[in-house]
C-alpha cells in the first residue's frame, strides 16, 4: 500500500525541495519505486534540483486538467531507475490544483505500483501547501534552528492535525516527523541558534534527523543532483540516516555535537 | 387491539436539567407607573429591535414604594419583553409574587455555587440511573458538579442551587435530581500556534502544550497540564472568581474576566516555567506559585 509523504515547513527557504529530492532518491536507492511531485505551481524548483529541467514536457497541472497522461508527464530519473519526478507547472497558478484533481492523480500513481509518493510542498499555508498535505500519511516538517522557522513549523503542525483528510475523517492522524536542517553545532554552542533539545521541547514531535549546514547543498543544486548523491559529504550521510530511520532502522544522531578544533587546526585555517 | 403497556415510572416522562438563561435586568428607579411606562417607551424606541423577545428580570431593590406590578408586566409584554422574575426584598417581593413574578437570585456573572462537596451518604441510591445521570452522581464522588448556571430556583428546592446531595432529603427518591453543570472541556492534543479553543459555560482542561500563538479561552477556569506558552483567558463572560492553573507558566498573555496582562519579559524565578495559579484580586491579576 503506497505511503504519501509530504515535505512541508510553513517557512520558505528552509530546505523542503532539497529534502524532497534527497529523501525520494534515498528511498529509490533502497529499491522502492518512488515518485516525487512538485506542488509549487508557478514557482517550480524541484526539476532544477533533480537535474531534469530540460526534460519537462508535461506537468502536474496538465495531468489534472486531462491535457496529458501521467505516463507522458512523469520523468524518469537518469541515475535511479526507481525514481520518477512529476514537475509543477511554471505558467499556471495555484487555482489549477483541485482536491478532486490531486486525488485522482494520487490514485493513478498508486495504481502504477509506486510505494512512496513524496509531495514537495510550497512554503506558506495557502492552496499549494494545503493540497500537498491534505492526502498525506506521513509528514516531514522541515525546520531551521531559528525562531521564525520554529513558529511557522508549529503553525503548519496545527494545520496538519486539523485540515488533512485523515483529520476530517477521524482516521489515525498524520505521522509527523521533525527534520532539522542547516544545523550548525558551533552556532548552537555559541548560543546563536536554538538547540535541537529546545526545538523538540517547543514542537514536541519525533525527530527524524538533523542535516548539518553545508556547502555541499549549493554544489549539489548547481550540479542538478540531489545532495544525497554527493557521497563524501556530511549532508549525504545525514540524508541516508533519515531515510533509514524512516524505514524503521533506528540510528544514533550524527552531526549534532560541536567539537572544538585543536590548536593547529585553528591556527592553520580550520573552522 | 389493546396492548398491555408495562408500568412506567412517571419520572421517565420528563427530566429536570439545568439551564442557563441570559436575561436583561430592568432596574427600576421610580415606582410611578406612568413614569415607568414612558421611560420604557422611550428606551424601546431608541433601542429598536435590539431588546425584543428577551427574557427580563425586574430589579426593584431600589424601590420602597408600591409598584403596580400587573400594569408594569403588561407594559413590558407589549414591548415583546418577557418578565421571568423579580429581584426584590420582603414586601416588594411578595407583591410581585402576587402578580405572578417569582423572586430570583441573580449575580452579575455566572453564579458559581459554594464548593462544599456533597456528603456521600446523602446521595440517594435511587439517583443512580444508569444511562442518564452523569458518572459523578453514580460514584457519589465528592467533587460535586452542581447546576452552576441556573439563576432560577430548581423546582426541588426553594433556595439557590445546592449540591444535589444536600437536596436529597427534600426530594422524592429517583425524581428531580438536577443534572450537574456541563462537564469541563478536556483537550488532550497539543495546541499549536494559530489554534484557538473556547470552552463555553464551563472549565477548560488542556493536557499538553499550549504553544506560542495558541489561545485558550473559557467561561470558567483554565487548567493546563503542560507548558502554557500562549494566551489564556479565563472567566470570559465576566466570572471574576475564575482562575488559571498550569504546571509550567510561560504565557504570552493572561486574562481573567477581561482584566489582562501581557507578559513581555521573564517572570520572576519562582514563577517562570513553574507550576502556578493566576487569580483576579480586585482589579489586578495575581500570579502565585503552586509548588511548595
- More confident: B41 or A115: A115
Decide if B273 touches A, using CB distance below 8 A: no
- Span B64-81, average pLDDT: 89
Contact B193 A155 (CB under 8 A): yes
Q: Quick one: pLDDT band at residue A270, thresholds 50, 70, 90?
A: low
| Phi, psi torsion values for B47, nearest 5 degrees | -80, -15
- As given in the structure block, the three cell numbers for residue A2 are 503506497
* Angstroms from A170 CA to nearest CA on chain B: 14
Q: Which residues of A touch B214 (CB under 8 A)?
A: 158
pLDDT at A53: 94
Q: How confident is the model at residue B167 (pLDDT cuts 50, 70, 90)?
A: very low
What is the mean pLDDT of the segment spanning A125-136? Answer: 95
Tell me whether A158 touches chain B (CB under 8 Å).
yes
Q: Evaluate if residue A109 carries a pLDDT over 60.
A: yes
Q: Which chain B residues have a beta carbon less than 8 Å from that of A162? A: 195
Average model confidence (pLDDT) across chain B: 75
Cβ pair B208, B188 in contact under 8 A: yes
Q: Between B278 and B158, where is the model more confident? A: B278
Distance from CA of B249 to the nearest CA of A (A): 14
Residues of A in contact with B230 (CB under 8 A): none
Contact B211 A162 (CB under 8 A): no
Identify the band that residue B176 occupies on the pLDDT scale cut at 50, 70 and 90. very low
Instruction: Residue count of chain A, please give it.
Output: 271
A206 CB neighbours in chain B (<8 A) are: none
State pLDDT tens for residues A207-223.
999 999 999 999 999 99
Alpha-carbon gap, residue A50 to A53, rounded angstroms: 8
- B209 vs A155: CB contact, 8 Å cut-off? no
Nearby residues of A69 by Cβ (< 8 Å), 6 or more positions away: A63
* E strand intervals along chain A: 3-8, 34-38, 75-76, 83-86, 116-120, 138-143, 175-183, 206-212
- Euclidean distance between CA atoms A128 and A137, whole angstroms: 17
- Give residue B98's pLDDT: 87
pLDDT band for position B20 (cuts 50, 70, 90): low
Task: Please give the grid coordinates belonging to residue B124.
Answer: 440517594
Number of helices followed by number of strands (H, E) in chain B: 5, 14
Rounded to the nearest 10 degrees, how much is the dihedral formed by the CA atoms of A216, A217, A220, A224?
-170
Percent of chain A with pLDDT strictly greater than 70: 99
Query: Hey, which bits of B103-151 come out as E strands?
Result: none
pLDDT of B93? 86
The pLDDT assigned to A262 comes to 81
Res. A152 pLDDT band, cuts 50 70 90: very high
Q: What is the pLDDT of residue B280?
A: 95
**Whole-angstrom distance, CA of residue B289 vs CA of residue A71:** 65
The reply to whether residue A202 touches residue B211, judged by beta carbons under 8 angstroms, is yes
Residue B164 has pLDDT above 70, yes or no: no
Cα separation, B255 vs B262, in Å, equals 9
pLDDT value, residue B135: 38
Give per-residue pLDDT as tens, B253-275: 999 999 999 998 889 999 999 99
* B29 vs A20, residue with greater confidence: A20
pLDDT of residue B180: 57
- Least confidently predicted of A42-51, A151-160, B21-30, B226-235: B21-30
Chain B touched by A167 (CB under 8 Å): no
Neighbours of B39 (CB within 10 A): 15
B187 pLDDT exceeds 60?
yes
Nearest-by-Cβ selection for B211 from A154, A159, A162: A154
Residue A203 Cα, gap to closest chain B Cα (Å): 8
**Model's pTM, two decimal places?**
0.67
Give percent of chain B with pLDDT exceeding 70.
Answer: 67
Q: In chain A, pLDDT over 90 holds for what percent of residues?
A: 90
Which stretch, A26-35, A248-257, B196-205, has highest mean pLDDT? A26-35
| pLDDT grade for B8, boundaries at 50, 70 and 90 | low
In tens, the pLDDT along B225-237 reads 999 999 999 999 8
Q: Under a CB-based contact definition with an 8 Å cutoff, are residues B216 and B231 in contact?
A: yes
Q: What is the pLDDT of residues B79-103, one digit of tens each?
A: 888 898 998 888 888 888 888 888 8
For residue B178, what pLDDT is reported?
55
User: What distance in Å separates the CA atoms of residue B245 and residue A201, rounded to the nearest whole number?
Assistant: 20
**Whether B191 contacts chain A with CB within 8 A:** yes
> What is the grid cell recorded at A207?
525527530
Amino acid at each position: 500500500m503506497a505511503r504519501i509523504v509530504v515535505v512541508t515547513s510553513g517557512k520558505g527557504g528552509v530546505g523542503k525541495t532539497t529534502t524532497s529530492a534527497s529523501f525520494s532518491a534515498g528511498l529509490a536507492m533502497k529499491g522502492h519505486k518512488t515518485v516525487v511531485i512538485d506542488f509549487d505551481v508557478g514557482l517550480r524548483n524541484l526539476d532544477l534540483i533533480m537535474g531534469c529541467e530540460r526534460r519537462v514536457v508535461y506537468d502536474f497541472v496538465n495531468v489534472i486538467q486531462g491535457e496529458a497522461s501521467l505516463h507522458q508527464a512523469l520523468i524518469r530519473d537518469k541515475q535511479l531507475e526507481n525514481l520518477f519526478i512529476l514537475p509543477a507547472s511554471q505558467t499556471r497558478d495555484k487555482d489549477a490544483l483541485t482536491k478532486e484533481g490531486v486525488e485522482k492523480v494520487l490514485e493513478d500513481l498508486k495504481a502504477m505500483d509506486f510505494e512512496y509518493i513524496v509531495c514537495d510542498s510550497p512554503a506558506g499555508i495557502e492552496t499549494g501547501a494545503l493540497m500537498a498535505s491534505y492526502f498525506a500519511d506521513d509528514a516531514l516538517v522541515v525546520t531551521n534552528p531559528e525562531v521564525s522557522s520554529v513558529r511557522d513549523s508549529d503553525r503548519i503542525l496545527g494545520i496538519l492535525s486539523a485540515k488533512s483528510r485523515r483529520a476530517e475523517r477521524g482516521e489515525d492522524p498524520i505521522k509527523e516527523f521533525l527534520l532539522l536542517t542547516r544545523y550548525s553545532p558551533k552556532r548552537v554552542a555559541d548560543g546563536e541558534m536554538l538547540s535541537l533539545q529546545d526545538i523538540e521541547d517547543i514542537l514536541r514531535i519525533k525527530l527524524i534527523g538533523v542535516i548539518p549546514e553545508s556547502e555541499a547543498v549549493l554544489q549539489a543544486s548547481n550540479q542538478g543532483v540531489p545532495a544525497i548523491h554527493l557521497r563524501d559529504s556530511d549532508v549525504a550521510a545525514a540524508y541516508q540516516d533519515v531515510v533509514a530511520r524512516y524505514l524503521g532502522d533506528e540510528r544514533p544522531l550524527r552531526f549534532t555535537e560541536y567539537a572544538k578544533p585543536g590548536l593547529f587546526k585553528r591556527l592553520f585555517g580550520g573552522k | 387491539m389493546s396492548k398491555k403497556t408495562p408500568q412506567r415510572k412517571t419520572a421517565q416522562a420528563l427530566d429536570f436539567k439545568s439551564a442557563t438563561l441570559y436575561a436583561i435586568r430592568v432596574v427600576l428607579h421610580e415606582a410611578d407607573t406612568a413614569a415607568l411606562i414612558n421611560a420604557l417607551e422611550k428606551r424601546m424606541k431608541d433601542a429598536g429591535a435590539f431588546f425584543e423577545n428577551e427574557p427580563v428580570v425586574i430589579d426593584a431593590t431600589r424601590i420602597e414604594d408600591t409598584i403596580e406590578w400587573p400594569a408594569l408586566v403588561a407594559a413590558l409584554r407589549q414591548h415583546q419583553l418577557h418578565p421571568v422574575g423579580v429581584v426584590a426584598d420582603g414586601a416588594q417581593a411578595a407583591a410581585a409574587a402576587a402578580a405572578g413574578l417569582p423572586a430570583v437570585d441573580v449575580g452579575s456573572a455566572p453564579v458559581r455555587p459554594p464548593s462544599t462537596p456533597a456528603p456521600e451518604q446523602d446521595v440517594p441510591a435511587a439517583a443512580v440511573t444508569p444511562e442518564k445521570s452523569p458518572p459523578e452522581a453514580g460514584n457519589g464522588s465528592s467533587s460535586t458538579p452542581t447546576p452552576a448556571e441556573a439563576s432560577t430556583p430548581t423546582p426541588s428546592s426553594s433556595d439557590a442551587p445546592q449540591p444535589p446531595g444536600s437536596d436529597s432529603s427534600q426530594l422524592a427518591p429517583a425524581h428531580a435530581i438536577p443534572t450537574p453543570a456541563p462537564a469541563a472541556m478536556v483537550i488532550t492534543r497539543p495546541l499549536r500556534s494559530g489554534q484557538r479553543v473556547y470552552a463555553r459555560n464551563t472549565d477548560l482542561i488542556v493536557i499538553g502544550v499550549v504553544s506560542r500563538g495558541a489561545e485558550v479561552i473559557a467561561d470558567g477556569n483554565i487548567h493546563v497540564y503542560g507548558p502554557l506558552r500562549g494566551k489564556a483567558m479565563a472567566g470570559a463572560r465576566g466570572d471574576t472568581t475564575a482562575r488559571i492553573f498550569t504546571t509550567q507558566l510561560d504565557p504570552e498573555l493572561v486574562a481573567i474576566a477581561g482584566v489582562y496582562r501581557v507578559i513581555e519579559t521573564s517572570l520572576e524565578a519562582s514563577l517562570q516555567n513553574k507550576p502556578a495559579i493566576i487569580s483576579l484580586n480586585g482589579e489586578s491579576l495575581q500570579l502565585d506559585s503552586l509548588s511548595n
